[in-house]
Structure 1
Amino acid sequence: MVSIGIQPNAITYNTLIDGYFKAGMVDAALTLFREMLGVAAKPDTVTYNIIMDGLFKAGKTVAAKEKFHEMVKSGLRLSIDTYNVILSGLCKNGCADEAVMLFDKLQAMNLKFDIITLNTIIDAMFNVGRIEQAKNLFVAIPAKGLVPNVITYTTMMSNLIEKGLVEEADSIFSSMETSGCPPNKCYYQKVTEKR
């Protein structure tokens, strides 16, 4: 692009970096990111989110956390999407305890979460044995101005069933039906494989 007189912007770089990660070309994505640091198209929050997500998906947890710290130092605004990438990435790479600890810190900062964040953390809490805390967080969702979705209900029910708490899972299912959140095919698959 540069050779024909077109100067790529942050959106162009973000698209290419994301494409490299999705193609499994981690080194190429990081090379492009380093190139981006040397031109006028400066990395933004989206750039860092793409890089951290790609690194987590490639199993490079330490590198993803380093990029997070780099992002914080750069002064860029951390969005809820940034925290969702970090929390989800930690959970998917065997660091659910670390994700729950980070969530606890973020809660103390009165950060406003979305339902994606809470779904991720409820699952993480179950994974690290904080069952009561997961149940309390689920109950508190409406007070946070959010509405549980099918993923929230599925996460709760499948984890409760896995822990042998079938009656509680049935109660959650009943509340799911009365809340107007109909179960879908994914729900039935997930819950039946846990029974």
Structure 2
Amino acid sequence: MVNENIGFGVICWPNIFTYNTIIDGLCKAGLIEKARELFLEMKGFGISLDTVTYTTLIHGFCCVGDWKKGTSLFIEMMDQDVRPSVVSFNVLIDERCKKRKLDEANRLLELMIQRGVDPTVYTYNIFMNGLCKIGEISPTIKLLEEMAKGNEESGVICRPNVVSYSTVIDGLCKVGLVKKAINL
């Protein structure tokens, strides 16, 4: 990246924000290997990688269906003492839920809480959507009720939002429980 600027008579040294922005753009364009090369270039230049750098690339790998590389990067992230954010966990939880692997998503949620990262309403919405996709309506309703109560004992301390209710209503309708959906 630096060498390309020399031809213009300008030497511009990219920083972490520059790299993160370009990596994000490459991932969104589906150019995950180019993004990975830039990630490795950052390491080579001794630029400290941050949560955004890792999470962006993890998301990129998840978007192209490369779960192994995404989780490998997540493990590397933690090994390098880069603290995963709620977004880092949500990316992985969402990928597992989309693949209908809710047991793995639940283990990630447990790890998230162990690491002191508080799940958000978005985290729980991901779970409810995943549960609805596999027809698990009872646990979905239970989770929604725990959210509505703000049940600290269960660890669910965020309130549901319109997406939470829409997800459950959609799930109920899909399994033919229209009256229950109306009463929600």
TM normalised by structure 2 equals 0.83
In the other structure, the counterpart of 2:63 is: 57
Q: Counterpart of 1:133?
A: 139
* 2:29 corresponds to which of 9, 20, 23: 23
Quick check: 1:100–1:124 contact (8 Å CA) kept in 2?
A: no
Partner of 2:48: 42
**How far apart, CA to CA, are the structure 1 residues paired with 2:29 and 2:19?**
15
- SS class of match (2:144): helix
Q: 1:154 and 2:166 equivalent? A: yes
Report what 2:6 is aligned to: none
Identity %: 32
Distance 2:76 2:25 in 1: 22
Structure 1 alignment gaps of length 5 or more = 173-195
Instruction: Answer yes or no: is the 8 Å Cα contact 1:59–1:93 preserved in 2.
Output: no
Verify the 8 A CA contact 2:85 2:117 in the aligned structure 1: no
Q: Deviations over 1:160-183 (max 9, x none)?
A: 1112222221122xxxxxxxxxxx
**Aligned counterpart for 2:178 among listed residues 152, 166, 178:** 166
Q: Distance in 2 between matches of 1:73 and 1:27?
A: 22
Amino acid at match of 1:141: M
Is the 1:56–1:90 contact (alpha carbons within 8 Å) kept by the matching residues of 2?
no
Change (3 A) 1:59 1:94: farther
Task: Report the number of matched residues.
Answer: 172
3-state SS of the aligned residue for 1:15? helix
Deviates more, 1:88-97 or 1:14-23: 88-97
Identify unmatched segments of 5+ residues in structure 2: 4-9, 151-155
The RMSD of aligned alpha carbons is: 2.1
Please tell me whether residue 76 in structure 1 is matched to residue 82 in structure 2: yes
- For residue 113 of structure 1, what is the aligned residue in structure 2? 119
Tell me, in whole angstroms, the C-alpha distance in 1 between the residues paired with 2:115 and 2:11. Answer: 46
CA distance in 2, matches of 1:103, 1:129: 20
> CA separation in 2, counterparts of 1:74 and 1:128?
36
Deviates more, 1:66-75 or 1:133-142: 133-142
8 Å CA contact 1:53–1:85 kept in 2: the answer is yes
